[in-house]
Amino acid sequence: MITTGMRWWSPRWRAPAAVAAGALPALAFPAPALWWFAYVALVPWMLLLRSAPTGQRAALEGWLGGAGFILAVHHWLLPSLHVFLIPVAALLGLLWIPWALLVRELLGGVPAAGRAWCALVLVPAGWLLSELVRSWQGLGGPWGLLGASQWQVAPALRLASVGGVWLVSLLVVAVNCALVLLVAVPGARLPAVAGMTGCAVLTGAVWVWAARPAESGRLRVAVVQPGPVADGPDSAERRFDIGQRLTRPLAKERVDLVVWGESSVGEDLTARPDLAGRLAALSAEVGAPLLVNVDARRADRPGIYKSAVLVGPQGPTGDRYDKMRLVPFGEYVPARALFGWATSVGRAAGEDRVRGEAPVVMDLPGRPGGRTAGTSVRLGPLVCFESAFPDMSRRLTLDGASLLIAQSATSSFQQSWAPAQHASLAALRAAENGRPMVHATLTGISVVNGPSGERIGAALPTSASTAMVYEVPLARGTTLYVRFGDWPPAAALAVLAVYCAVAGSRALRRPAPEPSPPPSRTARG
């Protein structure tokens, strides 16, 4: 079964090989952004799993590969989580055990044609189950979903408008599964080729027939990115001053909205009327409202909130969104009584932020004589990694948002892959909802994407301290994803449930082996 010459497949090397194979898909995500690699990245891991001598071994290698994937995609969290990232990866890696068992069961040995056909459906469904469970905020949220690696591929973005990032993940895993059949099972070439052809036909059909967003106007949006500011007791005030200085020249640009990044204001505007006054005067000078982000202890209620606040020439308009989904360890420590020690070894939050209660859609005041005069433009704000959650932007779109805005700050991870990974999510959220999205950060990367997920203008790199004006196309209409929601995960769960029911029924109908007769006296001697 395993020859001594195949040293990489010997029991000694299988465990480290599983970790390395699980880490390979990380290369498809930014910053490497080898999007095409996603379609082959799972093949080594799946070949290893199908050759596992026992189900226990497959489960072990599925767990190790899942941990390797989490470590590779989230390695930039080490400054915040430090050594705690390893047990987190080990915990999340357990979610790949059911998928690993499916791979061994359906692709192991010499699968018949029927089993190969089932594998092309069930293996992607099993992968999606792992992604769905780990997307729960308590387990870290949907960062690094395999479909998110296709953020710059126009046909994949069109697929996202039909079934969200989930449909893209299903297609990517299906292609990997078909390649495994081609490489390892010569007798299954027909299902393999048919599977890849089906993926291509599905993508082409969606490209041709899926509705494209219909443009309904344009909005001039300015993104203000102050750039890195050295930590210190006055860093919030210095960041505010830079934002103010960069915003003033926009008075000549006749913009409709100015967006600042996350934590761009370090004091509650109710407690600091002087800051509110400076922002109001700035709005009047520029001739457009400002969407800022306040990271401060509230004056009207206990606790620290991160809030998107709209400010006009008369001051705050009353529209305020408090961040609902907080970053584990970065903004709160789960089970602080148990894991509070993490604050002493990394950059975990010393005090938990307070969660907001509900999403908010803000009405953008029209500038007299401007493009928004007499038209209804509504803003759907998100804060930081909330842009990773497909359901949040979909909820804002259903509530009438015309423009999705994510205010972010990745200054703690400036030299890592994190800024590029985060910025790439804007393309997916825009395509899913058929709405443009502005991803505005303090220190880069800031980007703007149109309603089909296409990049609008130039991105602002992590080295930039500037303000940039973007001509943002607005759109009307509803995508299939907004209309039907997360139907691919529901379909995957239904398929897996049917498979489990059939397998269980067969196991119950299988006759039990007859017990061996006791040895005779003569045999016992």
pLDDT band at 4 (very low <50, low <70, confident <90, very high): very low
The answer to whether 419 touches 397, Cβ cutoff 8 Å, is no
CA 452, 489, 103, 45 torsion: positive or negative?
positive
How much is the pLDDT for 78?
A: 81
Give the residues across from 260 on adjacent strands: 224
- Span of 36-40, 84-88, 222-226, 463-467 with lowest mean pLDDT: 84-88
Average pLDDT over residues 54-83: 90
Q: What's residue 85's pLDDT? A: 83
Q: What backbone phi and psi angles, to 5 degrees, belong to 131?
A: -65, -40
- CA separation for the pair 448, 82 (Å, rounded): 32
Nearest to 427 by CA among 43, 227, 159, 120: 159
What mean pLDDT is predicted for residues 443-468? 94
SS3 state of residue 516? coil
In DSSP notation, 408-440 reads E--GGGTTSSHHHHHHHHHHHHHHHHTS-EEEE
Structure tokens at 394: 């979909």
Which pLDDT tens digit goes with each residue over 102-155?
999 999 988 888 899 999 999 999 999 999 999 998 788 899 999 999 999 999
Confidence of residue 77 (pLDDT cuts 50, 70, 90): confident
Res. 444: pLDDT tops 90: no
CB-hemisphere CA count at 13 Å for 147? 33
pLDDT tens string 360-396: 999 998 754 445 544 689 999 999 989 999 999 999 9
Polymer length of the chain: 525
Q: According to the model, what pLDDT value does residue 83 have?
A: 74
Identify the bridge partners of residue 441 per DSSP, sorted by sequence position.
408
- pLDDT of amino acid 279: 96
pLDDT of res. 2? 39
**What is residue 327's predicted lDDT score, i.e. its pLDDT?**
79
51 — pLDDT class (breaks 50, 70, 90): very high
pLDDT of residue 394: 97
Higher pLDDT, 263 or 334: 263
Q: State yes or no: pLDDT of 481 exceeds 90.
A: yes
What is the H or E stretch that residue 94 is in?
A: none
pLDDT at 281 over 70: yes
Q: Is the pLDDT of residue 505 over 90?
A: no
CB 481 within 8 A of CB 160: yes
Average pLDDT, stretch 453-464?
94
Residue 160 CB coordination number (10 Å): 31
* Spatial separation of the C-alpha atoms in residues 213 and 117, rounded to whole Å: 35
SS3 320: strand
- List C-alpha distances in Å: 267 to 96, 227, 296, 357: 43, 19, 5, 21
- In the chain, what are the domain boundaries? 7-211+492-507, 214-324+359-478, 328-355
Which residue do the tokens 């293996």 mark?
Answer: 123
Q: Decide which of 288 and 111 is more confident.
A: 288
Strands 304-312 and 315-322: antiparallel
Helices and strands (H, E) in the chain, number of each type: 17, 11
What gap in Å lies between CA 315 and CA 366, rounded to an integer?
Answer: 15
Q: Domain 214-324+359-478's class?
A: alpha beta
Q: pTM for this structure?
A: 0.90
Q: Confidence band (pLDDT; 50, 70, 90) for 315?
A: very high
Average pLDDT of the chain, as a whole number: 89
Q: Is beta strand 214-225 parallel, antiparallel or unpaired with respect to 257-260?
A: parallel
DSSP symbol at 340: G
Whether 42 shows a pLDDT value over 90: the answer reads: yes
CA atoms of 137 and 141, how far apart (whole Å): 4
- Would you tell me how many other CB atoms lie within 10 Å of the CB of residue 378? 14
Least confident span in 133-147, 241-255, 398-412, 501-515: 501-515
How far apart CA 291 and CA 265 sit, in angstroms, is 11
Residue 29 in this model has a pLDDT that exceeds 50: yes
Contact assessment for residue 137 and residue 325, using Cβ atoms and an 8 Å cutoff: yes
The confidence score (pLDDT) of residue 272 equals 92
